[in-house]
Amino acid sequence: MSSDPHDPAPAAETAPGAHPTPDADAARLIEALADPVELTARLCDIPSVSGDEARLADAVAGVLAHISAGPGPDLDIHRDGDTVVAATRLGRGERIVIAGHLDTVPIEDNVPAERRTLDGAEVIWGRGACDMKAGVAMQLCTAAALRSPERDVTWIFYDHEEVEAELNGLGRVARNHPERLAGDFAILGEPSNAGIEGGCNGTIRIEVTTEGVRAHSARAFTGVNAIHRAADILTRLAEHTPDTVTVDGLEYRESLSAVGIHGGVAGNVIPDACTVVVNYRFAPDKSAADAEAHLAAFFAPHPIRVTDSAEGARPGLDQPAARAFIDAIGGEPQAKLGWTDVARFSALGIPAVNFGPGSPLFAHKADEHVPCAEVESASADLLRFLEPARSAPEAPAR
């Protein structure tokens, strides 16, 4: 464990070389380290809605301490709030960073997790199943199975991914301890149907405003209706054909959409202002500044105001570690059309991909679930990439 002054004090003093007894949550997770499917279910059973990740972070820290004490490589473990970072120090020539978030969106009567059969396939059904406790299970099971990886590995389990960006645990570590994120290649365990999704689109939200002249609606001819003027903005959006942009061999489909509109004063008043909220998802060949300039030109002469933006991430699939990962996983990498935290690694100069079990189409939904077969295959593939000489441990019969 780290002696960093930012790390919380241990729950109890232990003798040198001794390891604290895991708490009940950690002990229950440790029992399932050979079975990523069962581990997924047990992780789902520990509620961790954004802002309430401490219990799960404590359990994960306990599991990592257990793994570090085992036959695999020692882990240098640090804690920053409810983010836990564990790194091997084997002196390998490359370092792989593998990250997953602990938090979920609010529960919808879908905890505890259940095993169900959908269309003939067994799934884990529950909040966080695909987004992304199956990815966390993949990380922990692989960390437990490693003995002598070809590359050093940094495991990151972070908080507050599902809420405001300024609260994001990965971003907080990047600000407080950027050296803990250092690596040659990063893998984010976001659901990707157990395939590789490279980089991500950037996103920017703007307000486009029209102005008019307020008047009594009985004498509308004396005013200028700002809502009517917004028709020009909506027409441009409706007639726009989004681009598909190829970046590093992957095709990123852009989108430009009205996501909100507000205006009006009262039922008998001609409005003097109307605002259309627009979201632009742009390919990672552009910066956020490029996207803003594009939108300013697209909507001119209407003024725009940026309310939120996040850079995209190039996939970096030409990097040696990325190519090795593609070879180990197989299949054709796809572009990530949404925004994910791979962009935080890209901002640090680390190429990153999304790779995890489950479909993003079921994230945040009441019927959130993950196919058991994908949890098993993703865990086996990740282990094969990190340590080709080893295979995944045989899971208990279910």
How far apart, in whole angstroms, are the C-alpha atoms of residue 250 and residue 314? 9
Torsion angle in degrees (nearest 10) through CA of 287, 293, 298, 299:
120
Any idea what DSSP says for residue 70?
A: S
Three-state SS annotation for 47-63: CCECCCCHHHHHHHHHH
Can you say whether residue 109 is alpha, beta or left, with left for phi > 0 and alpha for psi between -120 and 50 degrees? left
Q: Taking a C-beta distance cutoff of 8 angstroms, is the pair 201, 291 a contact?
A: no
Q: How far apart are CA 237 and CA 186, in angstroms?
A: 36
The CA dihedral of 344, 366, 105, 33, to the nearest 10 degrees, is -70
Q: CB–CB of 368/338 below 8 Å? A: no
> In terms of residues, how long is the chain?
398
Q: Find the helix or strand (DSSP H, E) in which 198 lies.
A: strand 197-198
Tell me phi and psi for residue 123, to 5 degrees: -135, 160
Q: Which one from 25, 53, 103, 368 is the annotated catalytic residue? A: 103
Residue 4 annotated to the active site: no
Residue with the two structure tokens 């994908």: 374
Q: Residue 172 carries which side chain, given as an amino acid letter?
A: R
Q: Are 154 and 185 in contact (CB under 8 A)?
A: no
The Cα 239–Cα 25 span in angstroms is 54
**361: three-class secondary structure by DSSP:** helix
Residue linked to tokens 């703007």: 206
**CB-CB contact of 312 with 343 (8 Å):** yes
Active site residue 184: no
Residue 277's H or E segment, with its range, is strand 273-282
Among candidate residues 35, 38, 131, 161, the one labeled active-site is 161
Q: Which residues are catalytic?
A: 103, 161
